[in-house]
Structure 1
């Protein structure tokens, strides 16, 4: 009986990691389209500064910055890369897309920063690729990034 339980546990964990690996594919439609980041899905595992302000599950305040747009973007990139579990997927002046990998299981979240040329504002979208809830991880991540970037 004990061997069956151990076998079931092993099968469960192997299946879980296969599921995570297969589900961690980059979503389509990321980037800027007509001045907007991709909308969050209905699930509560995404936050965006461009969600409707009455959408409490997804909306988060944008970051206002002072100074040069390019220097601000370089600060964002260097600060986020210094955390160690992040890599840049796409970047150009005014936009950067990071993949952030969780340490324990290897979940990948997509984090995008958009700095429109005409405004001194940073729009952010942070979304999990796998699962329904993120237990507030994306909201907390954006709060930490805000702390890094705001004096």
Structure 2
């Protein structure tokens, strides 16, 4: 009986790891479309400064910056690369996309920054690829970025 339970637990863990690995594929529709980041899904594992303000589950305040657009983007890139198992997927002046991998299970979050040419504002979208809840990880990441850029 004990061997059966151990076998079941091992099978479940292996199955979960396979599920996470398969589900961690790059989602479609990331990037900018007419100056907009992809909308958040209905699940609470996404935060965006472009969500509707009355969407308290997903909305975060855009960040106003005072440095140049280029230096602000470089500051964001440097911070992400130093502070969080992140790698740059794409980067051009005004837009950068990171993948951030969790340390234990290997969940991947997509974090996008958009710095429109016409405004001194940073828009952020941070979303988990797998699961329903992220236990507040994406909202905390956005809060840390806000702290980084706000004087």
TM-score by length of 2: 0.98
In structure 2, C-alpha distance between the alignment counterparts of 1:23 and 1:51, rounded to whole Å:
24
Q: Where does 1:53-72 land on structure 2 (aligned, <5 Å)? A: 53-72=53-72
Q: Where does 1:69-88 land on structure 2 (aligned, <5 Å)? A: 69-88=69-88
Q: Secondary structure at the match of 2:79?
A: helix
Deviations 1:111-139 (A, max 9, x none): 00000000000000000000011111100
Deviations 1:46-86 (A, max 9, x none): 01000000001110011110021011101110111011400
Unaligned runs of 5+ in 1: none
In structure 2, C-alpha distance between the alignment counterparts of 1:84 and 1:56, rounded to whole Å:
26
Shift of the 18–84 alpha-carbon distance from structure 1 to 2, 3 Å rule, reads same
For these two proteins, the number of residue pairs brought into alignment is 151
Shift of the 60–84 alpha-carbon distance from structure 1 to 2, 3 Å rule, reads closer
Equivalent residue, structure 1, for 2:21: 21
Q: Retained in 1: the 8 A contact 2:84–2:100? A: no
In structure 1, C-alpha distance between the alignment counterparts of 2:131 and 2:60, rounded to whole Å:
20
Q: Where does 1:29-108 land on structure 2 (aligned, <5 Å)? A: 29-108=29-108
Calculate the aligned-residue CA RMSD, in Å.
0.7
Equivalent residue, structure 1, for 2:119: 119
**Structure 1 stretches of 4+ moved >6 Å:** none
Equivalent residue, structure 1, for 2:147: 147
Deviations 1:81-118 (A, max 9, x none): 01140000001000000000000100000000000000
In structure 2, C-alpha distance between the alignment counterparts of 1:68 and 1:84, rounded to whole Å:
24
